[in-house]
Structure 1
Amino acid sequence: MKAVSIVKKNKLLFLVALAYLVILVISPDKAIKSIGNSVYYLVEMLQVLPVIFLLTVVIEALVPKEMIMRGFGEKSGFRGNLLALLLGSISAGPIYAAFPISKTLLGKGASISNIVIILSSWAVIKVPMLANEAKFLGVNFMIIRWVLTVIVIFVMAYITGMIVKKKDLPVDSKKAETLEIKEDYCIGCGLCVKLLPEYYEMNQNKAVVTKMPEGKEAVLALKESIEKCPSKAIILNKEEIVS
């Protein structure tokens, strides 16, 4: 029973092993070549992934969530799309290295559309790839292919963003507190800025949020500003985010 349970938990691994055994019986030469290719890519992964995981830790620990939300979030607009395109285009390493980074960016507030742009540009329009393409196929070919590819990437990103939601993704999720100011309700008194200048600032006579709360102490500190707001414009929500 224990062996059956192990097989069920590792179906893909056992299916791959079974496929290798079948090929080995039918065509030993092709099986040896296939195993050699698999070992090559496995070694490459072992070389690349530690660096990628270190980068994800740096993003998680040092890059504020507000920065990711401004740059790649739902409200980042076309500027966020361009930043995502740039990030994917200048990135190095194979495409599978992009997946843990993308998951970390999602957890920090990046939108689905921008993640699609990062992954797609990482895969097909990286700068080193474009340089080689221009060298072997010509500059005109490279430019036309780049323009058409970017158009398709943006269309695909917007469609994916409309259809797929973060709650649909097979990743762990957790509840987080999100701070919001209803602009229509805010009277611009500035009381919240005086109480907690690290979380609020004035912009065109309206209070805006500059930082999201992290931890129970931050939430408790914010509750005072919420209760003292004369127009009740400040709202603290619980939002499910990917981690």
Structure 2
Amino acid sequence: MWIALLCLQRLDVPAQTRSPKAPGTEDGLIREALADYQADRIDAAIGKLRQAHTTQPDNPYARLYLGLLLYQKAAKSLEAQEMMESVLDRFPTNPDLVLRLTDSYLATNRESKIPSLLERSKTARASNHRLALNIVYALVRYAQVEQARVVLDGCSTVLQAPRESKADAAGKNAAGPVPSRELGEVFFLRGLIAATTGQKEEAMRQFQTADREDFPPRDSPQMKMLAEALFRFEEYALSA
């Protein structure tokens, strides 16, 4: 697959470790495990989460964090996948869980589970555009272009609506729209999807539209994706 990068950000746990009363950290082992993770001691963190899970097998937070950290250590870990699956109903809007379980299914050739997961994550994506866009990156990375289009279309409708409303209210004499990087990323992803399916003309059109929205930012992972796509299209001057 030609996309070598996926925008999976580091698991965000500081909010859970700052307060002993935060959800899931009533258990001392879980609190210590998350502190270890923050200090880049992932093996120690996993060990403590295993202990927490052994002593409290029904604790959803122990299973959640253990699944996420096992995935981070090995994206193809079936143990991680099973742990994440076991708490999806408990944490259906957790963006770390939804994104990493999506990637886990794709990495282990379990694409048949993706439609169900996308259906269950509709609420999470509707309230978190960053999650929706990152899921599209994951789907495109594994050439799941039809599913990627479905997720992206839902996201683009929401992102374009405010601009269209402002344009209607301003009338014909209004200045051009202010560039929106978030909307530009939608066009960029459309370009990646077109590039994945070999549609050069459509890909170039979408990339140019994204550029007018100031996307992708210089030195970003997406800029590297763009350069790789242009190189494959033999647009060597543009890819430099």
In the superposition, the TM-score normalised over structure 1's length comes to: 0.22
Q: Which has the higher strand share?
A: 1
Say which structure, 1 or 2, has more relative contact order (CA 8 Å, 6+ apart). Answer: 1
